[in-house]
């Protein structure tokens, strides 16, 4: 019998083909653990996000998750919480949490999200450089 894990809700950009593909890939890797993650498409869900205390612009530019106890995690904390659920991905979660790796990973993540949103014409005005 495997130990039960608590539910995690992932707020993702369902209008982003890459994000949808990343979700599918995660679910394949998660296998039996995939049912412990609920996916919430943030597209046109500004009111619902605000009710949860999530800024819709931030939800578009940073990954957010909600833990079973209601805590909202964002950016790399969210990725680490998600990756830790899959045994094969736990080493990556550990690596992303390292003090020297974390800022580099955050910088890379933000620049790739900014490029993706700019290419699709969806970059929020506050994120334009």
Residue 2 falls inside a structural domain: no
Q: Is the pLDDT of residue 106 over 50?
A: yes
Residue 64 falls inside a structural domain: yes
Is 49 in contact with 55 (CB distance < 8 Å)?
A: yes
Q: Alpha-carbon distance 98 to 89, whole Å?
A: 15
Q: Which domain holds residue 115?
A: 8-124
pLDDT attached to residue 109? 92
* Number of compact structural domains in the chain: 1
pLDDT attached to residue 33? 81
Is 65 in contact with 72 (CB distance < 8 Å)?
A: yes
β-partners of residue 11 are: 40, 64
The H or E element spanning position 73 is strand 72-74
Residue 79 falls inside a structural domain: yes
pLDDT attached to residue 34? 87
Average pLDDT on 38-66 reads: 96
Q: Is the pLDDT of residue 58 over 60?
A: yes
Closest-CA residue to 65 (of 51, 50, 53, 82):
82
Residue 29 falls inside a structural domain: yes
Residue 37 falls inside a structural domain: yes
């Amino acid at each position: 019998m495997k130990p039960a894990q608590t539910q995690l809700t992932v707020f993702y950009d369902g209008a982003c083909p890459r994000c949808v593909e990343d979700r599918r890939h995660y679910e394949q890797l998660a296998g039996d653990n995939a049912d412990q993650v609920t996916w919430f498409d943030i597209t046109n869900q500004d009111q619902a996000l605000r009710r949860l205390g999530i800024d819709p612009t931030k939800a578009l530019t940073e990954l957010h998750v909600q833990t079973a106890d209601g805590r909202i995690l964002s950016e790399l904390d969210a990725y680490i919480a998600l990756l830790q659920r899959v045994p094969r991905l736990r080493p990556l979660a550990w690596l992303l949490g390292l003090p020297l790796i974390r800022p580099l990973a955050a910088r890379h993540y933000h620049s790739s999200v900014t490029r993706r949103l700019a290419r699709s014409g969806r970059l929020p005005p506050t994120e334009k450089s």
